[in-house]
Structure 1
Amino acid sequence: MTVKELYENLKAGVNDLITSGKFHEYLKFQARFHRYSFSNSMLIFMQKPDATRVAGIKTWNSMGRRVKKGEKGIRIFAPLAVKVVNDDTGDEEWKIKGFKVVTVFDVAQTEGKPLPELARDLEGATVQGDRLYSLLKMASPVPIKFGQTGPAKGYYHPVKREIVLDAGQAGDDLTSTLLHEIIHAIVEKEPPKDEADRERAEIIAEGATYVVAKYFDLDTSCFSFGYVSAWAKGDNEKLIKLGNDIQKAAAELISRVEDAQKKSKVA
């Protein structure tokens, strides 16, 4: 299948989730959670290494959950961003003025309404996944290493220009994570400036992840559809508007992987 055809599959899969009754509840939960910076990931890990999903009291309350009595909060940084005018271009840009400390709690520290789940991790390892992982390591435009990543499966550091993967991952889930972070490395030249920028980056990264993985016979739809839908916040138009960016990023990585395949013994 072509990249365009695979993108259409992605769009159809995400649309099915968005229009399903179950997804309404999922969106209210999943869209409120986002990936954290390296510093905050490390802060979360140091204070509560078994944390999986964290949020402030107001967010948990809005999801029908309450923080258990006696639970100790996790302290992280929240940026204070301001708009400034670029002296050279005259364009408005977001600049970080400073940081403030905020308190969040892990889901295990809360009780109340059950949380819906649609996006699930890939389980086990396949021949296709192992083969793709080997090729991705050769095709990556930045160095890859394993380390502590806090609640995230991995992250791309745009300043250091490196990818760090959770040492506890394995199999097709690891392949999918590496693929996702390589797309970030290909597309992002600087950190996201605000939530809208982060939303755009995540839709492109996981959208392209699905396309590339499917192109090489690895199906990530059980995770990718839910992940993209959550970041699109139930608005399929956001995915459609980013279609060209998703296809362009996917095509570049596919080309890199195929070049790596030609230079290697990976069949």
Structure 2
Amino acid sequence: MKKRYQPLTEKERQLKTEEYFGEIVKGVRGILTDEKYKDYLDFSSKLPRYSFNNLMMIYMQNPQATYVAGMKTWNSLGRRVIKGEKSLKILAPIQKKFKEEKENNAGKKEVEEVTRIVGFKAVPVFDVQQTEGAPLPLNPIVPDKVEPSDFAEKIYELLKEKMNEELPVTEKTLERKGLYGYYSPSEHSITINEDHDITNKLTTLIHEYAHSIFHSPDGKYKDSGKDVKETQAESFAYLTCKYFGLDSSRFTFPYLVSYASNSDQLLLKHQDEIQKETNRLITKIENLILEKEITFDVPVRELADELGNDFISLYRFGKSYFVTKNIDESLMNNLEAIQSQQNCILIETNDKAEALSVFHHYRIHYPENAVDKLDGKKGFIHLYQVKNEELFFIGKSNFAGIKRLSETIRNESLALEQFQQVFEHIQTPSKTKEMELG
């Protein structure tokens, strides 16, 4: 007889969580006492949205992880976990609602419902390499192939202006040789050496901005030693720059050994705050790019799908859009290189809507929120319409969303007629086999 699953008791769960935290502390000792710290920073720059505790857990289980999510998220992206893959574990908060009595502005007492974190539990996640299915779009705000100088040229002045809302940021020639810039706690200001190139100015700005966060006159770590201050600033700068493809390696890690001699809990506290502040600046920079509609002259794959052995993609290059079939991405360094692969280009246009229409015509897997079901019939097949398009097809729901089974049709009455014929022929799931209709 199959044994039924027994959930952990609250005490067992607490012991398990304490075990995980113990592993995190052990991991912290490991990365902060030798050259592995740089490897850890390289790893965590790929996953900036995670807390430090969960980053450490993922890192200890799979240092090669690049994109981690739960099974439901992978299924929503049209991918499934490969059979036999072992999950990674991260910690998720356990939240409970409580009723509290508070006094309102009029001095009267009233009951208010509040939510508090009462503990943590381990939840399973998987790296993208542990999944298979529909290809992922590669649509980062800053594409991987952007040259550091190009990124700096478009971002530096905007970021400096944005930071000026928080504290003065100025440029001038600095007498001291090799000095890129500095943060002045007494004036709570940042000074950048104007004699350096713009890429160095940007990485310096990020490093000194970290000092302004952690070591200002009102800062939590204003009285910390230089070892702690430089490790905080360097970690922050390295993570942020690495995320955007910039090299900030001129800042080294000379103080790690003495920093690691502090208490374990202090180490955890520093790293968690570094991660949170890094995420805030990354978000700030990305919002600037979106707000100012900054584009970079490298191809970005916005959508992708597999049609049998064919790979269909929608690329954006500057203001041009390309729908391609089996294009060689290694040759896509500039506009001329893309256009040289004419046999792989289904359409080139400056009209995104037109490009989307062509891509939808060729794709096989549609997210459920990208289509509308037009019929009210029961069964495994239905007639679908691509949203905002005069594009119709017969499809079925599966783990990847909606799979197209027929050719796309641009005439609704013809599509409905074809669907009626097919539906009358195949009415029940028991008769189904994977098939192509058309």
TM-score (norm 1): 0.46
Q: Which has the higher strand share?
A: 2
Q: Which has the higher helix share?
A: 1
Flag the structure with larger Rg.
2
TM-score (norm 2): 0.30
Q: For CA contacts below 8 A with separation 6 or more, give which structure has more relative contact order.
A: 1
